[in-house]
Structure 1
Amino acid sequence: MEIAFIKTPIGIAKIVGDENGITEISVLDEGEVSKTIPPILQVVVQQLQEYFLNKRSTFDFKLNPKGTEFQQRVWKELLNIPFGKTISYLDLSKKLGDVKAIRAVASANGKNPLWIVVPCHRVIGTDGSLTGYAGGLWRKKWLLEHESPTSQQTLF
């Protein structure tokens, strides 16, 4: 596995992957930025930088997250949430075919190892509230405002 750390507006992004795909993208509060980026991770770094510069709304590198079959189903469904849009945990549960699985869906969402790229930040409470985000609600708010199609003072 190769690892790279890059500076972003929401912290230091940790990127982990190999020729089979990217297994982790997370954001740390602090850390040292990589002096060199392994060749296998360069496209990921480039696309993340474009995302933060408002020049990219989708990603096209290979993903290889590790998780249970159920978590994989949830993460795959997250990829269907359009840029600049949100969905509730309840609606996500319905899309997965089991409205009663809302807690399991929320748990799988919270274990998403590919922040930003698999957009778990686009899942909100049924009442529109920002709920749960492994990276902290301030990062979730930042990402949603960053992706907002209209420029406004604040979403929340």
Structure 2
Amino acid sequence: MTVYAYADGPLGEMLLVGEESADGGGTALASLSVPGQKGGAVVGDGWRHAPEAFTGVTAQLRDYFAGRLTRFDLQYADTGTDFQRRVWRALEDIPYGTTVTYGEIAARVGAPGAGVRAVGTAIGRNPLLVVRPCHRVIGADGALRGYAGGLERKERLLGLEGALVR
């Protein structure tokens, strides 16, 4: 069953969406979106409001925004294509407080050169803002490029982490 909750934070009220496991093994986070996000989740018919399903997620978000957490340890729902999942795993390996370019991610997933555009598209479809740190990816020229939550939020997250934009 799909469950959802809201969490307040410095980026606005975030919508958390998860899938409860049939065997009672908890809730896998499927989406974390912010107000006005391009392609963000919208509460669907039949979804159950279940803040209790997200206590671990909200605790980790609180610690991240307070500067006490540098890497999330959460159960994620398995979504996306094989290529998207490879790109998203590469995002999870970007250390806190650092940035990499789209080209560097493309090379890490075996798609250099023309694959940079495909990597950018996969990053743009990341359903887990903040916890899967797509905000740490910047342009080859060091400029902030695309962020589904808006460039202002991307800059804010990088500032929170003390990341120097090249």
Residues 147, 65 of structure 1: alpha-carbon distance in 2 compared, 3 angstrom cutoff: farther
> Structure 2 matches for 1:60-139, cutoff 5 A?
60-99=73-112, 100-139=114-153
Conserved 8 A contact 1:2-1:41: no
Conserved 8 A contact 2:6-2:51: no
Q: Shift in Å at residue 112 of structure 1?
A: 0.2
The AA in structure 2 aligned to 1:13 is M
Conserved 8 A contact 2:99-2:163: no
Alignment RMSD: 2.0
What is the CA–CA distance in structure 1 between the aligned matches of 2:106 and 2:71, rounded to whole Å? 23
User: What is the number of equivalent residue pairs in this alignment?
Assistant: 147
What is the CA–CA distance in structure 2 between the aligned matches of 1:126 and 1:85, rounded to whole Å? 14
The AA in structure 1 aligned to 2:74 is F
Q: Shift in Å at residue 64 of structure 1?
A: 1.3
% identity of equivalent residues: 41
Q: Does 1:147 align with 2:154?
A: no
What is the CA–CA distance in structure 2 between the aligned matches of 1:63 and 1:83, rounded to whole Å? 19
What is the CA–CA distance in structure 1 between the aligned matches of 2:79 and 2:107, rounded to whole Å? 24
Q: Hey, which bits of structure 1, 4+ residues long, moved more than 4 A?
A: none
Conserved 8 A contact 1:22-1:65: no
Aligned to 2:10: 9
Residues 117, 65 of structure 1: alpha-carbon distance in 2 compared, 3 angstrom cutoff: farther
Aligned to 2:40: none
What TM-score results when the alignment is normalised by the length of structure 1? 0.87
The runs of 5 or more residues in structure 1 that have no matched partner are: 30-35
The runs of 5 or more residues in structure 2 that have no matched partner are: 22-27, 37-48
What is the CA–CA distance in structure 1 between the aligned matches of 2:11 and 2:133, rounded to whole Å? 15
Q: Shift in Å at residue 67 of structure 1?
A: 1.1
